[in-house]
Amino acid sequence: MASPFPFEFMIVFGWLASMLIAGVVLRARTRFLQRFLFPSCLIGGVIGLILIHTPLINIAVFDLETFAYHFFNISFISVGLTYDPKDKNTSSRSKGYLKGPAWMALVQSSCFGLQAAVSGLLVIIFGFLGMTLFPTFGFLVPLGFEEGPGQALSVGKVWEGFGFAQAATLGLTFAAIGYFFAFFVGVPLVNRGIRKGLAAHGTQELSRDVLTGIISQDHQTQSAGRLALHTGNIDSMAFQAALVGLVYLITYVFIKYVGMLIPADAAGILWGFFFVFGLLFAVLIRTGMHRSGHARLIDPGIQRRITGWSIDFLMVATIMAIQLMVVWEYLLPVTVISAVNGCLTTLFVVFLGKRLPDYHLERTAAIYGAVTGTVSCGLLLLRMADPEFKTPVAIEIAVMNVLSIIPIGGCLVLVNAPVWWNWGVGTTSIVFMGIMVAGLVLIRWFKFWGPPRF
């Protein structure tokens, strides 16, 4: 019997939700997954990736990519609504912890330059060996490793419009490989540092709640948010979601009508940067409500839950959207470029981390997770070395995101140079190498680079 309404959208959502729940169950019951702190979204995504290549799940890859694209945009919009530039608590803390954030921001920028330059060089080498790759092929690595699957998908879709077939899938593949480096390499590295006595507050074991991912009944839970509006009028969750929807609509209308005023190819590029405009409009609305005295209606707690919710579903959708046939076609360059970048990134971060004056292990763990996966990966690795977040590093990594906006933003523009400005891969790689060197010079200049401490 035919249904009276289309269900395709909700069926996809239901499968994503099922994979997330499967990830939660497996994390809670599998010691191996607990040992490496694999998040449920990553576990569920891998399960979904396997099942989608069987007759059990019949979902179009395009639908998964569409879900991932929109969840990615939602996560940035909710971040923009959450951030308050006049939050006295945040600003006062930030001023006290600029040393660590500055180091991590410089390492993040330098790693972006390193990964892009090395990947570009490898693309040139593959060309000499007879395997011609699209000019921006290698630049998917820093997008996937440092910026995560949403960024890799969004920019990859733009590049597909310039003739880079399957760029989105390849970007998601590099992002997934980055996650595996974050956990399969990052977790043993942190454990090794703990055994050597490098943790600032000893070697306290992770709690059972952290390992299983489920908070026990007798453990006091943290509030998810507060009620900013009376439930007799509107549910607070509905209002917070409505703010996200309003910003989404404003951003859509803006890009659509601005696109009518510029060439078609440039208009197509704008959709790939929807998240940037969404973040901008969210901050503008947040600022306007703050100045009009209505900022209290935006609850940071619930907005953070919206951010986390969208990222969890984003992760499942992006991993399930990886097309194994495409990966198989590019297996050699993907494997070589990923392995080289993963090894060099590990050596690079550990080398610089050893030369920090304090909090070596905590800061190294946090930034390593960030430059191979996402900030969330960095926080997971940090929690191994600092379970109670007694060091300032958890705050520092948040401030790092603000300090790195300009350099990372510039890098995100530069990866498009071959398709926007017809730069050669070699020229672009040289510029990225310069960015890496500049970052190292600044690390040295700020005296973050001393003799090895261990």
What tens digit of pLDDT does each residue of 331-354 get?
Answer: 999 999 999 999 999 999 999 998
Burial code (b: 16+ CB inside 10 Å, e: under 16) for 260-297 equals: eeeeeeeebbbbbbbbbbbbbbbbebbbebbeeeebee
- Residue 229 resides in a domain: no
CA atoms of 362 and 398, how far apart (whole Å): 14
The pLDDT tens digits of the residues spanning 294-307 come to 888 888 888 888 88
> Looking at residue 183, what DSSP letter applies?
I
- Within 8 A by CB and 6+ apart from 425, the residues are 120, 123, 124, 135, 138, 418
Q: How much is the pLDDT for 133?
A: 93
Number of independent structural domains in the chain: 1
Q: Is residue 86 over pLDDT 60? A: no
> Looking at residue 205, what DSSP letter applies?
P
- Residue 275 resides in a domain: yes
What domain range is 279 assigned to?
60-204+235-445
Mean pLDDT is lowest, of 82-86, 144-148, 312-316, 371-375, for 82-86
- Residue 320 resides in a domain: yes
- Residue 28 resides in a domain: no
Residue 212: C-alpha distances to residues 26, 33, 42, 222 (Å): 9, 9, 14, 17
Q: How much is the pLDDT for 1?
A: 58
CB 332 within 8 A of CB 363: no
- Residue 73 resides in a domain: yes
Residue with tokens 């890098």: 411
**Which has more pLDDT, 225 or 190?**
190
The pLDDT tens digits of the residues spanning 107-141 come to 999 999 999 999 999 999 999 998 999 999 999 99
- Dihedral (CA of 267, 272, 276, 277) sign: positive
- Residue 427 resides in a domain: yes
- Residue 355 resides in a domain: yes
**Which has more pLDDT, 266 or 135?**
135
What is the pLDDT of the chain when averaged over all its residues?
Answer: 85
- Residue 246 resides in a domain: yes
Q: Is residue 385 over pLDDT 90? A: no
Residue 244: C-alpha distances to residues 1, 232, 317, 435 (Å): 36, 22, 20, 35
The pLDDT tens digits of the residues spanning 409-450 come to 889 889 999 998 999 999 999 999 999 999 999 999 988 887
pTM for this entry:
0.78
- Residue 129 CB-density burial (10 A; 0-12 exposed, 13-18 middle, 19+ buried): exposed
